[in-house]
Amino acid sequence: MKPAAPFSVTQAALRVFAGGLLCTFAAGSAYGQTDSLRTISRQLSRYSQHRLPEKLFLHVDRPFYVVGEIMWFKVYAVDGVFHKPMAVSKIAYVELVDKAQKPVLQGKIALDKATGQGSFVLPKGLASGTYTIRAYTNWMKNSAPEFYFHSAITIVNTFGSVTIKPAQEKAEYDAQFFPEGGNLVKGLPSTVAFKIADQLGKGIDAAGIIVDQRGTNVAQFKTLKFGLGSFSFTPTEAGTSYSAVITLPGGQTVTRKLPGVAEKGYVMHLSNDNAETLTVSVRTNSADDADDILLLGHARHIPSVSAIGRFKNNQAVFSVRKNELAEGISHFTVFSAQKQPLCERLYFRNPGQKLNVSVKTDKATYTTREKVSLQVATTNPAAQATPAALSLAVYRLDSLANLPSSNINSYLWLASDVKGRIENPDYYFSTAPEAEQAADNLMLTQGWSRFRWTDVLAAKTPEIKFYPETSGHWIQGKLTKSATGQPAPNVPVYLSSPSRQARLYNCISKPDGTIQFEMRDFYGPKEIIVQNNTQLDSSYRAEIYSPFSAQYAAGQVVPFKFSEFFRPEIAQRHVQSQLQTAYYKKLNSRYKLPANDSVAFYGKPDETYLLDAFTRFKVMEEVMREYVPGVLVRIRKDGFHFQVMDHLNKTVMVDNPMVLLDGVPIFDIDKVVALDPLKIQKLEVITSNYFHGREVYRGLVSYTTYKGDLGSYKLDPHALLQEYEGLQLQREFYSPRYETDPAKQSRQPDFRNLLYWNPDVTTSAGRSTELDFYTADQPGKYLVVVQGMTANGHAGSTRYTFEVKQAL
């Protein structure tokens, strides 16, 4: 029999659902290639050095909204190995995606010290349903989109008709079975995990039996938690078809086939027998005990276990100490002597390095429009006070808001490293007696890998198409030749946006025509103008790419199930939203303006002319000749030219300077001379060579209009004019304060659902942090959600409730 061809964990994932379980048969001559096997660990280490994984987590203020409300969020950026804050990327991309995988809202969020904050106003045109909010950096676009942050958000459009589904629907169920080693092999005991879910993807309680082709009962099974479970049995014949007869809620039964049984192969089993060690056993029915095999364990690309074993009586056994494993998910892979991956499975070690967050209020019950004093404290795993950066939301609990929300600790250590949706991920971090076994069932059904073993073993350097934006947002595109569409290399290209504060960006097109501008202080919606010097060559065409990822993770989010039960709550939320819009729209539309440099990109000019201080001429040529002695106006056969007096070297520069109008380059001096001087307020001149990136300007002349809108100047037809959204401006959260009796007695209604949002809560090692806000006019139970992390990567979250009663 020929040896099996090498394959990757990712390829095998297509065969066994989430890629967590992998086993194939590989026969052939086996020699003691111990040294060769040990190189696999080093190969993995070298491979991982080329791509440090990055993760984002979003704390979104609530899980449920109606259109017209504001969604607030905070972004946390960490390295994907140790989960410590990583301040490499300066931009995060956040999108709200509908069920058809189409983005409906997008934002570019500035990151500072590995955190950022933003908001979306949910437009009234959104359809009711479950949406996904996702987040990633430019660097993360090198990986599959499944590794982006994802969280489900429910939105209801209360202006249209909300479809109310009948309480009773036709039940549909999905059942999947995953052998621990990837394949069932004749005569070898196997553990089989399974997942049983309803039509919404929610796990259900079920039980059943396994029967062979003759209908003989060979095993029994029952779900443990969330529709997951596992059982053991030994298939006796190759090619035999085994089936699961499943008894579902209500007594309904369905039958599903198990994966086929292989004649020859390997199976793997992990036993969690005691608190100190794991036992990993590999069995085969291939009678060749001379083969060495390698057990390699790694967590997020960092090897932790590398052990050589040999089959004895067709079995190899490894003992692994748990304290040698990294916290979170570890991958165990068994390799043959020919370096072929034979089996793989995952193991979850509950992390103990958790940030403990405590919240308490000065009272358990409040009346409407009463001050709430809140204390937040954080301690490390040793119960010592430790500083942390946190975000905090306070909102009213109702039947709509009782949906699960993402938890920073469970996301970083679990959800971010497995495929698909996890139902109640917090449960796997609890002290429940079944939590450990439930986590193992999850590992058997939803595990996966971030790389292909074929790439690692071939010493293939990971392809990097996207680089981290370490200084600011990049606007990228391509310059091509208009006639042929071919790339235009080595051409200076300029990007600008009309403004009274001149900002000019330039680059040289790369051999493939790619252009890239590193933007600083570029906030809010703008018109950008991209052009090359058309006086030199006007045969080029520029295009700008969207910075957002066009790749989307497979799988559907669980849709929100509307019913008559929710109608009163939806109606109340509609009223709340309308009142907020009517009375607080302006207050919720205030922004924290960034501290932009008010000086033009070229700094302090050598000469400045405020034209209102001079006698006004109607022709720009006269203005330049009479008032600007540092710039000589010359007329040649091809038209007007400017020559700047180089005061530094006491000479006259021959070439035209860079001429700007509201920051936009004008390369045709005839058009500059044709400008209406009555629309120009200010003129500035740089009287020396100005170095700008890789470009050198022979002086610089900058005109500024009164409005910064180019006046009546018409752009060159070859220039690209495009609307472009810069970094999102930070909206300020508004919360009324009822500190005086007149304020408390005001007749202006206050039906806020979200009482308080603060993305910048910091605690210290010495004492707790005190915050305060006021309740609104709605009685009920309110939930405080706090999330955050420390500088050394300890993440934590907590939830706290208090009650508001109607004032008498």
Q: For residue range 500-516, what is the model confidence (pLDDT) as tens digits?
A: 999 999 999 999 999 99
Number of CB atoms found within 10 A of residue 805's CB = 13
Interatomic CA distance for residues 434 and 319, integer angstroms: 24
Helices (H) and strands (E) in the chain, counts: 9, 50
**Per-residue pLDDT tens over the stretch 768-788:** 899 999 999 999 999 999 999
**Per-residue pLDDT tens over the stretch 729-739:** 999 999 999 99
Strand ranges, E, within 648-779: 651-652, 658-661, 664-665, 680-692, 695-705, 720-725, 730-731, 754-763, 769-774
Nearest residue to 784 via CA among 807, 766, 804, 768: 804
Q: Please give the backbone phi and psi of residue 481, each rounded to the nearest 5 degrees, phi first.
A: -80, 125
Interatomic CA distance for residues 479 and 485, integer angstroms: 9
Query: Position 506: which residue type?
Result: N
* Inter-CA distances, 132 with 23, 71, 98, 127, 636, Å: 34, 13, 6, 13, 62
End-to-end distance of the chain based on CA atoms, in angstroms? 86
Nearest residue to 427 via CA among 410, 446, 440, 441: 410
Instruction: Report residue 681 as tokens.
Output: 């307020």
Q: Is the pLDDT reported for residue 16 higher than 80?
A: no
Q: What is the pTM of this model?
A: 0.90
**Per-residue pLDDT tens over the stretch 346-367:** 999 999 889 999 999 999 999 9
**Per-residue pLDDT tens over the stretch 660-697:** 999 999 999 999 999 999 999 999 999 999 999 999 99
Q: Is the pLDDT reported for residue 171 higher than 80?
A: no
pLDDT at residue 4, rounded to an integer: 35
Q: Is the pLDDT reported for residue 698 higher than 50?
A: yes
* Inter-CA distances, 224 with 114, 231, 252, 437, Å: 39, 11, 19, 8
pLDDT at residue 3, rounded to an integer: 36
Lowest-confidence region among 232-241, 365-374, 476-485, 799-808: 232-241
Question: DSSP alpha helices (H): ranges in 6-159?
Answer: 9-13, 34-49
Nearest residue to 275 via CA among 321, 325, 331, 317: 321
Mean pLDDT of 440-469: 83
Number of CB atoms found within 10 A of residue 365's CB = 10
Mean pLDDT of 187-196: 95
Nearest residue to 334 via CA among 293, 394, 273: 293
Q: Is the pLDDT reported for residue 807 higher than 70?
A: yes
**What mean pLDDT, rounded, does the chain reach?**
88
Asked if 649 contacts 579 with a C-beta cutoff of 8 angstroms, the reply is: no
Choose between 807 and 29: higher pLDDT.
807
Interatomic CA distance for residues 446 and 19, integer angstroms: 7
Nearest residue to 149 via CA among 126, 116, 113: 116
Instruction: Report residue 191 as tokens.
Output: 């553990």
pLDDT at residue 7, rounded to an integer: 30
pLDDT at residue 804, rounded to an integer: 97
Strand partners, 92: 109
Nearest residue to 785 via CA among 750, 757, 762, 763: 757
pLDDT at residue 402, rounded to an integer: 63
| DSSP per-residue codes, 376-428 | EEEE-TTS-B--EEEEEEEEE--TTT-S----HHHHHHTGGGSSS--SSGGGG
Asked if 122 contacts 65 with a C-beta cutoff of 8 angstroms, the reply is: yes
How many CA atoms lie less than 13 Å away from 357 in the CB half-sphere?
29
Interatomic CA distance for residues 399 and 401, integer angstroms: 6
Element (H, E) at 624: helix 620-627
| DSSP per-residue codes, 12-53 | HHTTSTTS--EE----S-----HHHHHHHHHHHHHHHHT---
Instruction: Report residue 473 as tokens.
Output: 């947002």
Which residue do the tokens 């955050």 mark? Answer: 788
Question: Cβ neighbours of residue 432 under 8 Å, at least 6 residues apart?
Answer: 438
pLDDT at residue 24, rounded to an integer: 37
The rounded percent of the chain whose pLDDT value lies above 90 is 70
| DSSP per-residue codes, 428-490 | GGS--TTHHHHHHHHHHHH---SS-HHHHHTTPPPP------SSSPEEEEEEEETTT--B--S
CB neighbour burial string for 110-140, b if at least 16 within 10 angstroms, e if fewer = bbeebbbbbbbbbeeebebbbbbbbbbbbbb
pLDDT band at 136 (very low <50, low <70, confident <90, very high): very high
Instruction: Report residue 802 as tokens.
Output: 């208090």
Mean pLDDT of 305-318: 91
pLDDT at residue 22, rounded to an integer: 36
**Per-residue pLDDT tens over the stretch 250-268:** 888 999 999 999 999 999 9
Rank 247-251, 538-542, 648-652 by mean pLDDT and report only the highest: 538-542
pLDDT band at 288 (very low <50, low <70, confident <90, very high): low
Asked if 39 contacts 130 with a C-beta cutoff of 8 angstroms, the reply is: no
pLDDT at residue 161, rounded to an integer: 61
pLDDT at residue 160, rounded to an integer: 72
Instruction: Report residue 548 as tokens.
Output: 């957002």
CA 188 and chain centroid, separation: 42
pLDDT at residue 564, rounded to an integer: 67
Mean pLDDT of 270-279: 91
Element (H, E) at 792: none
Instruction: Report residue 760 as tokens.
Output: 């910048």
Query: Position 175: which residue type?
Result: A
Interatomic CA distance for residues 754 and 748, integer angstroms: 17
Asked if 175 contacts 246 with a C-beta cutoff of 8 angstroms, the reply is: yes
Interatomic CA distance for residues 212 and 202, integer angstroms: 29
pLDDT at residue 9, rounded to an integer: 32
pLDDT at residue 556, rounded to an integer: 61
pLDDT at residue 406, rounded to an integer: 84
Asked if 135 contacts 148 with a C-beta cutoff of 8 angstroms, the reply is: yes
pLDDT at residue 94, rounded to an integer: 98
Q: Is the pLDDT reported for residue 647 higher than 60?
A: yes
pLDDT at residue 170, rounded to an integer: 55
Q: Is the pLDDT reported for residue 168 higher than 60?
A: no
The sheet that has 540-544: what strands, in order across it? 514-518, 474-481, 540-544
pLDDT band at 705 (very low <50, low <70, confident <90, very high): very high
Instruction: Report residue 650 as tokens.
Output: 């006491």
Mean pLDDT of 748-761: 94
Interatomic CA distance for residues 543 and 741, integer angstroms: 59
Rank 52-66, 275-289, 291-305, 591-605 by mean pLDDT and report only the highest: 52-66
Q: Please give the backbone phi and psi of residue 513, each rounded to the nearest 5 degrees, phi first.
A: 85, 0
Q: Is the pLDDT reported for residue 487 higher than 60?
A: yes
pLDDT at residue 50, rounded to an integer: 72
pLDDT at residue 188, rounded to an integer: 94
Q: Is the pLDDT reported for residue 793 higher than 50?
A: yes
**CA angle at 409 for the pair 406 and 411, rounded to the nearest 5°:** 50
